[in-house]
Amino acid sequence: MGISTRPAVASDEEFVNALTRETMRPYVEATWPSDEEREEYYWLNRFQQNETEIIQVEGEDVGHITITRRPGCIVLEEIHIAPRFQGRGIGQMLIRKVLAEADERRIPTELKVLKKNPAQKLYMRLGFVTVRDADERLYMVRGVQQVEVADASTRRNS
């Protein structure tokens, strides 16, 4: 299976927004019962062309990943894979590439995930830990900051 990414272009906005709605709908509806709250969530996940890559399998667009690279951390903003391509390790492979980059730069990788989203299990398997539980989201980190949080927790429990 030939997996690749390409930089997003303006014409990808409709694909990105439609796929985000398709993949997130069950978790968004379980989290926010009102249409107004759901629309606010979707609005917040607007297309970020300069930070988004389109995921392709054998040249077919099957997903997107949005990554913000900051001097002190990498933020995995979003990753969405079309349902018919889920469960094949595509997301895991791409996240591992992001983690390898962060490890090489010796900086943490951060993300947030809806509590209702089962993707948090994948993130935990990849070494992310929850550093903040806020309303409907978990804030997770893997890397330098994760170690500091774990160290602080160990000191409190000693």
| Interacting residues of 107 by C-beta distance below 8 A, sequence separation 6+ | 72, 73, 74, 143, 144
Domain count, the chain: 1
Output the domain CATH number for residue 153.
Answer: 3.40.630.30
pLDDT tens-digit profile of 35-91? Answer: 776 666 665 556 888 999 999 999 999 999 999 999 999 999 999 999 999 999 999
8 is in which domain, residue-wise? 3-157
Prediction pTM value: 0.83
Given this model, what pLDDT does residue 48 score? 86
**Residues 150, 131: Cα–Cα separation, whole Å:** 9
Nearest to 86 by CA among 148, 10, 24: 24
**Residues 64, 60: Cα–Cα separation, whole Å:** 12
Looking at the DSSP assignment, which residues form a beta bridge with residue 78? Answer: 66
